[in-house]
Structures are given as structure tokens and as C-alpha cells.
Structure 1
Amino acid sequence: MALKPPLMDLPIATAEKGFYRGFSIDVTIASKVIISAIVVWAIFWPTQSGSVLNGLNSFILANFAAWYIYCVAFFILVCLGLALWPTAGRMNLGLEGDKPEFTNFSWFSMMFGAGIGVGMLTWAVAEPVSHFASNPETIQGLSTGGDADNVRNAYKWSFLHWGFGAWACYAVCGLSLAFFSYRRGLPLTIRSGLTPLFGTALSGVLGTVIDIVAVVATILGVAQTLGFGVDQFVAGLTRIGIGGLTDDTGGASTFGIIVALLIIMGASTLSALSGVGKGIKWLSNINMVLSIILLSFFIIFGATWFGFNAMFVGLWDYVTALPGMSFNVFKSDGVEGSEAFLLAQWQGWWPVFYWAWWIAFAPFVGLFLARISRGRTIREFVLGALIVPALMCFVWFAWAGGTAIDLELNGGANGVIFDAANGDKIFAMTEFMLAPINVWLAWGMALLIVVLLMTFLVTSADSAVLIVNTINAAGDEGPKSRPHILFWGAALGLVVAGLLISGGTSAIQTAMVIGALPFSLVMVLMCVSLIKAIYNDGRREAAGVATLTDPDEAFVAPAE
């Protein structure tokens, strides 16, 4: 049977006039209704919403923990396989002669800033410290929490959560979207990644449902990031002398949450209005430079040798243990307090939570990666998106987290860092290091961290707003989407505010784990679809059948 050319036309119905001109009415309105309902429910019925969300979360952790673990392991294998597969590796994510739009520095900066950057300022210190106190090895009695023999375990697990698994989630989603949009001329939206499996049926209800799931997952995933960031932003503002933003427990007050979100979402909306090539690009470059300055401080003036050892020994431990950690599922015996129960509980708190977070984040980061990666080969994309940002995360964890652990073990911190709230740990650490030298140095470092945190938060939020609008507009980023940027900027801020006020970051975490579940299935299908497409394109090329769209009909992002 003769090979047929691939599907290169996927019509998506959009409004021709009115406020929603150029937008898919079904996707846009359904997404807005779902997100609005979550906001209203969380704010006006906090007790009921908290109870229902916790019940659903418990059900998912009890029944789908293994699914999340195996999904992410599958994504890592797909990425590595595509990079090594000759047919796939050489394919260009674009048409013949297409070259990358952005330099490698800007590409890595935008990738890191939108994908994970904001988490570094909280978790690069907080997570190694947390795993230093407790991890599966301490639960099984193989090491002692808080002792020097547990440092390597702390880094092994920290690297697992922020390493190749996280970036594999982003890479498979971004690669699928770039492949089908820039080689086949299909809309830059999630449903296009499933065309080899479902064909033109994706123009109808099935495609609409897929895009709605992606929008909801994106909003909840970014809300999780902003929720952590708002707590830390308020802690930072307090450290530099702006009072009245915390409550009696030292956490962010309702007023503090509102002030932080007004600043962050206001700046992010303005940046989003300027587009990827202007505001987001420049913000990403700025936060990369500030990140290098802050990281250099920890490397030079922090625990230099401790961090060096944590980086390379931790990387070795992580890579050698990765197969086992990626596929191991702890099963609870139902006996509260037993070793099996505690191990399963720990896995739900950490790996399962992170895998859900990265999956929920994947439609946003994946579509953003696709948008900035046109003209790169599949091998270049996979290795660049999988390895470079992961190594950057490892460097942060090694020297920022390593400095915190070393100061507590050997530097006389005596709990100043360990006892601080997660978002405040980096501020407590820099103050402990610099205040004895000069209090203004400590204040200046706190200010630098606050500015860096804000640029990361704004980059994540404005990128998310643009991506949501792109999905709603059937892959089009044109000027017509700008009025809706204001809506989604406000909606994202209200989701974060509503869930934080009603139940804190745990409420956002629960909603995000639930929202990520349906999109995890979409991502698995995207992997299968991509592999099928590349295999068939290899056969088509050998048979002389066209695999690229006509340049005149290819998807081109409108001028910013």
C-alpha cells in the first residue's frame, strides 16, 4: 500500500467577529467557566472545597501514584530514544533552511526562566535541607536524618525531582508541538500533537476537550509556582523592611498576598502585552544574569568545596540510581506509622507531587519551548531542553543548598536556616552570612534576591498568559488576543489568591495534582503519536513522499 502524505490541515472553528474574534468559542468559554468556578468555590466555600479537594487528592495518591511514576519514566526514555534515533535526531523542527530565531544564551535563559527558574529561589535551599532531615533511606534506617552520612541521599532525591524527569515532561510536550506545527503547518496548540492517532476528528469535540484540559492544567500548574513564589516574595519584602505583609505566624497575610499578586500580575501582564521577542526575552536575560551573580556568591563565598562535592558526587549518585528511583513504587500496607506506610506517604508528598506539578506545567512550558525552538534539530532540542537546564538546577542545589547544610553542620548557624520557613530560608542564610560583616550588605543581597524572584515570577506568569491565549486562539498569537491577556492575567492572580486565602499552598497543590491527571494521559498519547509520525516520515522520505508543509501555508507566528 502506497504511503500517503501526512495530515497538514487541521481546521479549528474560531469566531469571525465580536469580542471572541479569532478564538475558539468552545475552548475559551469552557476554560474560563472552569477556572472561574474554582475561584468562586475556593473563596466562598473554603471548608467544603478543602474537604472535597483533599478527598480527591487522597484517592489519586492511593490509586494513581504508580501511574505518575511510570509516566515520567516513560517520558525520559522517549527523550533519550529520540535523541539517539538517527531518523529522528537529524530532523529539523521547521522547514528546509529554517534557522533558530534566538541565540543559545537567550534560548537557555527563556527555557530556564519559564520552566523552573522561580523554584530555584525556594527549593534550591529548602529541598536539600528537607531531604537531609528525612528521605526513604532514613525511614528505612539506612542513614540518620540530620547527620553527615545523609548528605548524599539528600542530593540524590533532590536531583531526582528537579532533573531529567522534570525536563523530560517539558521536552516531550514541546517537541510534539514544534514537530507538528513547524513541519506540518498545523495549529500551535495541544490537539495538533495527536493528529497521527486521531486525524481530523481533532477538529471537533475531542480536540476541544484536549485543549480545555491543557488550559486548566496550565493555570493550576502555574498557580502552584506562583503560590510558592508569593510566599517567598512577601518574606523577601519583609526582610528588606516593608512591613505589614505577614500574619502572626510569620506567613504571608491576606493583605500581603494581595499586594504581592498585584505587583507580580501587573508586571507580567504588561510584559505579556509586549510579546515573546521583547518583554519575555529581556526579562529572561535579566534574570539569568542576576541568577549567575547570586550563584557566584554562593560558589565563591559559601561552601565552595562542600558544594563541589555535593554537585559531582550527587550527580554520580543520581545517575547511577536513576533507573531504580524512576520505576520504584512504594506500596503502603495501610498500617499508619509502619515503614511501608511512611515510604508511600513520602513518595506521595515528594515524587508524585513533583511529577504532577511538571505534567501540569508541561502544556505551558512545552508550547513556550516550541515557540522559541523553531529551526533546531530534534537532537539539539532534546539534549538542550533535557540536559542543560537540569545541570543548571543541580548547580543551584549543590552550592545554595550545600551552603545551608554546611553552615548548619559546621558554621554555627544553630537552626537559623533550618528553622526558617521554606520561602525564607535563602534570606535567613544570606543574612547569617553577611550581617556580621555589614548589615547593608545583607540588605542589598536580600534586595537582589527579591528582584530576581520578581523577574522569575513575572517571566512564568506572562509566558503562561500568552500560552493560554495561544491555545484558546487555535494556535494564533496575533494582536487580536491582547484584550484577553488582561482577563487571563487577572484570572491567574485570582486563582492563586483564592486558593492561598482559603487553604494555603496545600490547596493549590491538591488542585494541581488533580488537574494534572487527565493531561498526563494526553502526554502519553502525544509521545506515541510523535514516535509514529517520525517513523512514518522516515519511510515517506525514503519513498520520496513529501513530509513538510508548503512554506506558503506553514504556521508563522505573527509579528510582535
Structure 2
Amino acid sequence: MSIQPPLSDLPIKTAETGFYRGFSVDVTVISKIIIGVLVVWCIVWPEWAGEVLGAWNSAILASFAAWYIWVVAFFVIVCIVLAIWPTAGKMNLGAEGEKPEFSNFSWFSMMFGAGIGVGMLTWAVAEPVAHFGSNPETIMGITNGGTADNVRMAYKWSFLHWGFGAWACYAICGLSLAFFSYRRGLPLTIRSGLTPLFGSALSGVLGTIIDIVAVVATILGVAQTLGFGVDQFVAGLTRIGIGGLTDETGSASTVGIIVALLVIMGASTLSALSGVGKGIKWLSNINMVLSIILLGFFIIFGATWFGFNAMFIGLWDYIIALPELSFNVFRSDGVEGSESFLLAQWQGWWPVFYWAWWIAFAPFVGLFLARISRGRTIREFVLGALVVPALMCFVWFAWAGGTAIDLELNGGADGVIFAAQNGDKIFAMTEFMLAPIADILAWGMALLIVVLLMTFLVTSADSAVLIVNTINAAGDEGPKARPHILFWGAALGLVVAGLLISGGTGAIQTAMVIGALPFSLVMVLMAISLLKAIYNDGRREKAGVEAVTTNLNVTPAE
């Protein structure tokens, strides 16, 4: 049988007139209904919503914990294969000879800012501190929580959650979209990544369902990030002197949530209207520069040597343990309080939650990565998306979290940092470090962190709005999508507000874990499709059959 050219035409029905002109009405309207029902449910019946979401979450964690663990391990393996596979590595994500649109600095800045930057400001301090107190080794009695012998365990688990597994999820989704859109000329939407398996059937109901699942997962994944960010943003505003935004526990009050979301979503909507090449690019560059300044402060004036040890010893421990950590599933014996029960519970709270978060976040980050990575080779994309951002995360955790642990162990912090809310820990730490020198310096550092957090939040939110509109518009990135930016900006803000009101960040976490489950199956199929497509393209190249059907006549980023 002769080798045929690849499928390069996937028509998706869009409205020709009216408000939804240029949009897939089925995908857009059904996605809006699902998100709208979720918002109304959480705001009007918060207690009922919290109970139901909690029950669903428990059922998913009990039944699908192993699925989440093994799926992410599969994604890491696929990325390694793609990086070392000669046929795959040299393929260009675009026409032959096409060059990248963005410089490496802007590419890494946008990748890091949209993908994981917000989490750094909360969890780079909070997570090593949490694992320093409790982790599987402390549960099994191997190490002692809160003591020096538990530092290495704290970093092994922190690096696992924010390392190669996280970025493998993003890389798989982003590479699939870039490959099929920029080499095949297919629509820049999730369904295109499954064409090697389902072909032209994706023009119909099957493709509609896949894109709807992606839109809902995107909104819930970004809502998780914004939920953590809102708490920290309010904590920062309180630290710089703006009162009335927290409750008696120190968490963001309803007023604080509303104020923070109005500021963040208003700025992000304006940025989204300016497009990727303007607002998002410049915000990403700004927050990268501010990140370097803040990180430099921790490296120079924080626990320099402690952080150095945490970085390299933690990285060694993580890489050596990665095969076991990637596949190990803790099984509960059902006896509450037993060791196996506590281990399974811990795994549900941490690795399973994180894998669900990264999977839910993958349509957003993946499509965004595809959008900014045209013209790069597959090897360059995989290594750039997998290794560089992960190393940046490790550096943050080592010196920001290491400074917090060192100050508590050896620097006389006496619980000031550990006792603060997760989002407030970085502010408590910098205040403790600088207040003895000058209060104005502590205030200035808090202001810098607030500005940095704001740029990260806005970058994530405006990118998400643009991505959702691209999926709804059957992959069309043109300006006709802009009237709908206002709707999705408001919808995203309301989802965050509704879930926070109905049960705090725990409610967002629950909704996100639920929303990630169906998309995890889609991502597995995307990975398989990608491997099949690259293999077939290699065969086409040897047989002299044209495999690249795109061209350079593409509208550049705005």
C-alpha cells in the first residue's frame, strides 16, 4: 500500500452571522452553560455545592489516584522519547526553514509566567515548609518532621510536584497542538491533536465534546491558580497597608476576594484585548525581570549556602527517586489513622491534586505554548518546555523555601514564618529579614512582591481568556474573537469568586480535580496520536511524500 499524505483539512462548523459569527456555536454555548450553572450553583447554594463537590472529590481520589499517577509518568516517558528520537527531534513546528517568532528570553518568560509563575510566589516558600513538617517519610517514621534530618525529604517531594511531571503535561498538549496546526494546517484547537486516531470524524460531535472538555478544564485549572493568587494578593495588599480585606483568621474576606478579582480581571481583560505580541509579551518580560530581582534577594541575602545545598542535593535525590516516585501508588487498608491510610490520604492531598491541576491547566498552557513556539524544532520545544522551567522552579524552591526553613531552624524566626497563611508566608519571611534594618525596606519588598504577583496573575488570566476564545472559534486567532473576551474575563472571575465563597480554595481544588479527569483521557490519546503522526511522517519523508502542508503566509502575532 502506498503512503498517503496526512489529513490536512478538518472543517469545523462555525456561525456565519450574528453574535457568534466565526465561532463554533455548539462548543461556545454549551461551555458557557456548564460554567454558568457552576457559578450560579456555587454562589446561590454554597453549602450544597461544597458538600456535593467534596463527595465527588473523595470518590475520584479513591478510584482514580493510580490513574493520575501513572498517566503523568506516561507523559514524562513520551517527552523523553521525543527528545532523543532522531526522526522527531529534527522536525520543525512549521514550514521547512521557518524561524521562531519570539526570542529565547521572551519565549521562556511567557512560558514560565503563564505556566507556573503564580504558584512560585505561594508555594516556593509554603510547600518546602509543609513537607518539612510532614511527608511520607515522617508518616513511616523514617525521618522526623520539623527537624534537620527531614530537609532532604522536603525538597525531594517539592521537586516532584513542580518538576518534570508538571511540564511534561504542558509539553505534550502544546507539542500536539503546534505539530498538527503548524505542520498540518489544521485548526489550532484540541480536537486537531487526535486526527491520526479519529480522522475527519472530529469535525462532528466527537470533536465538539473534546473541545468542550478542554474549555471547562481550562477554566477550572486557571481558576485554581487564580484562587491561590487572590488569597496571596489580598495578603500582600494587607501587608502594604490596605486594610479591611481579610477576616479574623487572616484569610481573604468576601470583600477582599471581590476587590482582588476586579483589579486582576479588569487588568487582564485589557491586556488580552491587546493580543499576545503586545500586552502578554511585555507583562511576561516585566515579571521575569522582577522575578530575577526577588530571587536574587533570596540568594544573596537569604540562606545562600543552605539554598545551594537544597538545590543540588534535592535535585540529586529527586532524579534518583524519580522512577519510583513516578509509579508508586499508596494503597489504603481502609482503617482510619493507620499508616497505609495516612499515606494514601497524603498522596491524594499532594501528588494526585498536583497531577490533576497540571492536567487541567494543560489546555491553557499547551495552546499558549503552541502559539508562541511556531518555528522551533520538536527537540527544542520539548527540552525548552520540560527542562528550563523545571530548573527555574527548583531554584525558586531551593532559595526561597530554603531561606524560610533556615530562618526557622537557625535564624530565630521562632514560628513567625511557619505560622503565617500559605499565601502570606513569603511576606512574613521578607518582613522578618528586613524589619530589623528598616521598616521601609520591608514595605518596599512587600510592594515588589505584590506587583510581581499582579503581573503573574494578569498574564495567566489574559492568556486563558485568549486561549478559550481560540478553542471556541475553531482555532481562529483573529480579531473577531475579541468581543467575547469580556464575557470570558467576567466568567473566569465569577468562577473563582463563586468557588471561593462556597468553600474557599478547597472548593476550587475539588472542582478542578473533577474537571481534569475527562481531559486526562484526551491527553493520553493526544500523546498516542502524536507518536503515530511523527512515525508516519518519518515514513513519508523516506518515501518522498509531502508531510508538511502548512505555509509561511500566516498572520504574525499582534
**Residue in 2 aligned with 1:90?**
90
3-state SS in 2 of match to 1:551: coil
**Residue in 2 aligned with 1:139?**
139
Do the aligned partners of 2:183 and 2:550 also contact (CA within 8 Å) in 1? no
**Residue in 2 aligned with 1:312?**
312
Alignment of 1:45-444 (within 5 A): 45-444=45-444
Q: Structure 1 residue 513 and structure 2 residue 513: aligned?
A: yes
**Aligned partner letter, 2:404:** A
For residue 473 of structure 1, report the CA deviation from its aligned partner. Answer: 0.3
Do the aligned partners of 1:12 and 1:203 also contact (CA within 8 Å) in 2? yes
**Aligned partner letter, 2:322:** L
For residue 391 of structure 1, report the CA deviation from its aligned partner. Answer: 0.1
Alpha-carbon displacement from aligned partner over 1:321-373 (angstroms, at most 9, x marks no partner): 00000000000000000000000000000000000000000000000000000
**Aligned partner letter, 2:185:** G
Aligned counterparts of 1:249 and 1:7: Cα–Cα separation in 2: 57
For residue 159 of structure 1, report the CA deviation from its aligned partner. Answer: 0.1
Do the aligned partners of 2:277 and 2:557 also contact (CA within 8 Å) in 1? no
**Aligned partner letter, 1:148:** A
Alpha-carbon displacement from aligned partner over 1:41-69 (angstroms, at most 9, x marks no partner): 00111111111111110110000000000
**Aligned partner letter, 1:243:** G
Alpha-carbon displacement from aligned partner over 1:82-113 (angstroms, at most 9, x marks no partner): 00000000000000111000000000000000
For residue 551 of structure 1, report the CA deviation from its aligned partner. Answer: 2.1
Aligned counterparts of 1:424 and 1:323: Cα–Cα separation in 2: 34
Provide the TM-score with structure 1 as the length reference: 0.99
Do the aligned partners of 1:196 and 1:533 also contact (CA within 8 Å) in 2? yes
**Aligned partner letter, 2:194:** L
3-state SS in 2 of match to 1:379: helix
3-state SS in 1 of match to 2:265: helix
Do the aligned partners of 1:224 and 1:505 also contact (CA within 8 Å) in 2? yes
3-state SS in 1 of match to 2:19: coil
**Aligned partner letter, 1:156:** K
Do the aligned partners of 2:94 and 2:551 also contact (CA within 8 Å) in 1? no
3-state SS in 2 of match to 1:415: coil
Aligned counterparts of 1:422 and 1:559: Cα–Cα separation in 2: 37
For residue 479 of structure 1, report the CA deviation from its aligned partner. Answer: 1.1
Aligned counterparts of 2:455 and 2:284: Cα–Cα separation in 1: 8
**Aligned partner letter, 1:169:** C
Do the aligned partners of 1:477 and 1:558 also contact (CA within 8 Å) in 2? no
Aligned counterparts of 1:131 and 1:52: Cα–Cα separation in 2: 29
Do the aligned partners of 1:476 and 1:557 also contact (CA within 8 Å) in 2? no
**Aligned partner letter, 1:384:** G
For residue 477 of structure 1, report the CA deviation from its aligned partner. Answer: 1.2
Aligned counterparts of 1:446 and 1:51: Cα–Cα separation in 2: 37
Aligned counterparts of 1:61 and 1:246: Cα–Cα separation in 2: 31
For residue 558 of structure 1, report the CA deviation from its aligned partner. Answer: 6.0
**Aligned partner letter, 2:91:** M
For residue 250 of structure 1, report the CA deviation from its aligned partner. Answer: 1.2
Provide the TM-score with structure 2 as the length reference: 0.99
Aligned counterparts of 2:322 and 2:58: Cα–Cα separation in 1: 27
Aligned counterparts of 1:435 and 1:158: Cα–Cα separation in 2: 29
**Residue in 1 aligned with 2:487?**
487
Aligned counterparts of 1:538 and 1:482: Cα–Cα separation in 2: 39
Aligned counterparts of 2:524 and 2:496: Cα–Cα separation in 1: 28
For residue 559 of structure 1, report the CA deviation from its aligned partner. Answer: 5.4
Do the aligned partners of 2:124 and 2:397 also contact (CA within 8 Å) in 1? yes
Do the aligned partners of 1:156 and 1:318 also contact (CA within 8 Å) in 2? yes
Aligned counterparts of 2:555 and 2:243: Cα–Cα separation in 1: 44
Alpha-carbon displacement from aligned partner over 1:254-276 (angstroms, at most 9, x marks no partner): 00000000000000000000000
Aligned counterparts of 2:326 and 2:67: Cα–Cα separation in 1: 12
3-state SS in 1 of match to 2:474: coil
3-state SS in 1 of match to 2:116: helix
Aligned counterparts of 1:240 and 1:438: Cα–Cα separation in 2: 14
Aligned counterparts of 1:412 and 1:396: Cα–Cα separation in 2: 22
Aligned counterparts of 1:96 and 1:538: Cα–Cα separation in 2: 14
3-state SS in 2 of match to 1:436: coil
Aligned counterparts of 1:481 and 1:526: Cα–Cα separation in 2: 26
For residue 459 of structure 1, report the CA deviation from its aligned partner. Answer: 0.3
**Aligned partner letter, 1:428:** A
For residue 245 of structure 1, report the CA deviation from its aligned partner. Answer: 0.5
Unmatched 5+ stretches in structure 2: none
Q: Structure 1 residue 503 and structure 2 residue 503: aligned?
A: yes
Do the aligned partners of 2:275 and 2:557 also contact (CA within 8 Å) in 1? no
Do the aligned partners of 2:182 and 2:550 also contact (CA within 8 Å) in 1? no
Aligned counterparts of 2:550 and 2:245: Cα–Cα separation in 1: 56
Between 329-338 and 541-550, the greater mean CA deviation after superposition: 541-550
For residue 420 of structure 1, report the CA deviation from its aligned partner. Answer: 0.3
Do the aligned partners of 1:478 and 1:558 also contact (CA within 8 Å) in 2? no
Do the aligned partners of 1:431 and 1:442 also contact (CA within 8 Å) in 2? yes
For residue 502 of structure 1, report the CA deviation from its aligned partner. Answer: 1.2
**Aligned partner letter, 2:349:** W
Do the aligned partners of 1:477 and 1:557 also contact (CA within 8 Å) in 2? no
Aligned counterparts of 2:250 and 2:65: Cα–Cα separation in 1: 33
3-state SS in 2 of match to 1:223: helix
Do the aligned partners of 1:69 and 1:351 also contact (CA within 8 Å) in 2? yes
Alpha-carbon displacement from aligned partner over 1:483-535 (angstroms, at most 9, x marks no partner): 10000000000000001011100000000000000000000000000000000
CA RMSD in angstroms, aligned pairs only: 0.7
Runs of 4+ aligned residues of structure 1 deviating over 6 Å after TM superposition are none
Q: Structure 1 residue 533 and structure 2 residue 515: aligned?
A: no
Q: Structure 1 residue 446 and structure 2 residue 446: aligned?
A: yes
Do the aligned partners of 2:135 and 2:153 also contact (CA within 8 Å) in 1? yes
Do the aligned partners of 1:269 and 1:462 also contact (CA within 8 Å) in 2? yes
Aligned counterparts of 1:557 and 1:148: Cα–Cα separation in 2: 56
Q: 1:436 to 1:193 in 2, by over 3 A?
A: same
Aligned counterparts of 1:539 and 1:360: Cα–Cα separation in 2: 34
3-state SS in 2 of match to 1:95: coil
Aligned counterparts of 2:109 and 2:201: Cα–Cα separation in 1: 37
For residue 550 of structure 1, report the CA deviation from its aligned partner. Answer: 4.8
Do the aligned partners of 1:156 and 1:317 also contact (CA within 8 Å) in 2? yes
**Aligned partner letter, 2:233:** F
Give percent identity, aligned residues only.
Answer: 86
Q: Structure 1 residue 42 and structure 2 residue 42: aligned?
A: yes
Aligned counterparts of 1:477 and 1:374: Cα–Cα separation in 2: 14
Do the aligned partners of 1:5 and 1:546 also contact (CA within 8 Å) in 2? yes
